[in-house]
Amino acid sequence: MKTKILCLVVLFAFLALTNAAVRRQDGGSSGSSGKGSSSGSQNSGGHDGGSTSGNGGEGSDNDGPGRGDGKRQINMLQGPPKGQPHTIEVRVHAPDDSYAMDYMFTTNGLPRHIVKFFSKGPNSTEIDLISRWNLWKVVEYVEGVNGTDGYEPDLDTKISEVRLFGGKTTWTNMDFTTSAGVNNTVYTVCTTMNAVAGLALEVCVAMADRKTERNRTVLNPDTAKWSFRISGYPFKSNYSRLALKVSFDSRSTVNKLDDKDAEDHGYDTHDQQVMNCDSTNAGVGIVATFQTTVDVTGSQCATTAQVVKSTIYSGQVNGDVDPDPTKISKRDDDEKDYTKSLQVVYFSYLTNCSQPESIYWDPTYGLGTTDSTTSGSSVVSFSGFLMVIVLALFKFF
């Protein structure tokens, strides 16, 4: 009997120590993602342009894709300084050149963001991950009687729309600026679409070579922080709402991630949502992260409003069919890299006032981690495995 008790004590102690070590490792992973490494935190208010603030911390020089603070080398491949006024493309080097990321935003034909991940470094031509975020149009709609907030094409009433591509749509030349802080540099481009009198749709993109804070917004060097501003929309109804129609292309199915993945990506899970657009078995992913609130201006408007994401549709919905604008990107991009069918999403801005003057939203797009569910499962499985050993030994003795 004493032998049984001794074995149980030893094995339970080993189990406790192992689980504690796993938890420490897991906590370290999310810590290195920067939740406390930069001054300030994510905030949906006041995200306009401006200079960098704070030094962002020195960070680790070998911190892994999408996780840490180590300084990156950023090389411009295309952009206004190189004579391309409607495209910005950069290559971001890992601190030790162990991996690289290409990020591109262009308004040629169709406004879109593209992220590529090279696991073998900046000199590799082998793309491990790739994803494209296409911006289609702004929809004015009135909520139906189904009781669910957010635009659903087959259930809600579309009042008007403004496409971001085709016809007389033109985007201004990108305004490119650099802003030097303490131990960091922030690169920003902005462009505006003026297809309708009085309406301005502005997209800005900001990237930093080291994790830093910029007007209460955390910039991660492995992601691009972009913003979308709607000013002076020509509303046709007094109490309608606006939604942004987009689509994603990648090599895998777009999925929503869990709360732990949101933490690993470096954002507060209470006001962020994260979608996995493409991922490797090693847990590295291209992720789209977005604020669940927008800044709003206008008479009798609250200063913020909620953002909701629709179902991720496989293709277009019968109630809202457009000429496929991705044919434009297919003309310019290398389509062999995208193997999944079109995945359409609506982001709805739940304003509760009449005809807001402006709406401002700022998502991110880039590298992140998508392995938390797997690591959690492995802890449970390992614990279960040890319990089986305990019971077997108990029976044996």
Structural domain boundaries in the chain: 2-58+135-396
Cα–Cα distance measured from residue 157 to residue 140, given in angstroms and rounded to the nearest whole number: 9
Residue with tokens 């894709």: 65
- Condensed to tens digits (0 to 9), the pLDDT of residues 274-319 reads 888 988 777 788 999 887 899 999 999 999 999 999 999 999 999 9
H-run or E-run covering 343? strand 343-350
pLDDT at 138 over 70: yes
Highest mean pLDDT among 48-57, 76-85, 369-378: 76-85
Check if the beta carbon of residue 159 is closer than 8 Å to that of residue 153: no
pLDDT of residue 64: 66
Most confident of the ranges 6-15, 24-33, 355-364 = 355-364
| Cα dihedral 120→123→127→131 (10° resolution) | 110
For residue 69, the model assigns a pLDDT of: 62
Task: Report the pLDDT averaged over residues 216-239.
Answer: 90
Q: Please, which pLDDT band fits residue 259 given cuts at 50, 70 and 90?
A: low
Per-residue tokens: 208: 């930093």
Q: Give CA–CA dist 115/133, Å, rounded.
A: 9
Query: Is the pLDDT assigned to residue 22 strictly greater than 80?
Result: no
For 284-319, b/e burial (b = at least 16 CB within 10 A) is: bbbbbbbbebbbbeeeebeeebbbbbbebbeebbee
* 57-62 long-range contacts, CB within 8 A, separation 24+: 57/210, 57/211, 58/183, 59/34, 59/210, 59/211, 60/32, 60/95, 61/95, 61/96, 62/95, 62/96, 62/98
**Residue 261: its pLDDT value, please?**
56
Please report the pLDDT score of residue 194 as a whole number: 84
Between residues 237 and 146, which one has the greater pLDDT? 237
Short-list 78, 257, 251, 244, CA closest to 174: 78
Quote the CA–CA distance of 292 and 361 in Å, as a whole number.
9
Q: Give the SS3 label for residue 351.
A: coil
Rounded distance between C-alpha atoms, residue 199 and residue 208, angstroms: 30
Give the residue ranges of DSSP H helices in the chain. Answer: 2-32, 259-264, 326-332, 372-396
First vs last C-alpha separation in the chain:
8
Q: At what angle do helices 2-32 and 372-396 cross, to 10 degrees?
A: 170
Residue located via tokens 């650099």: 178
> For residue 162, is pLDDT > 60?
yes
Residue 389's pLDDT band, with cuts at 50, 70 and 90, is: very low
User: Among 108-112, 174-178, 252-256, which stretch is predicted with the lowest mean pLDDT?
Assistant: 252-256
Give pLDDT tens digits for 115-137. 999 999 999 989 999 999 999 99
The answer to which of 10-24, 93-107, 246-260 has the lowest mean pLDDT is 10-24
Q: Please enumerate, as own/partner, the contacts of 165-168 that have beta carbons within 8 Å and a separation of 24 or more.
A: 165/109, 165/110, 165/111, 165/136, 165/137, 165/325, 165/328, 166/323, 166/325, 166/328, 167/195, 168/195
Residues of the chain above pLDDT 70, percent: 71
* Closest of 318, 357, 350, 299 to residue 143, by C-alpha: 350
What's the one-letter identity of residue 170?
T
Nearest Cα neighbor of 367 from 259, 202, 207 is: 207
The DSSP symbol for 336 reads: G
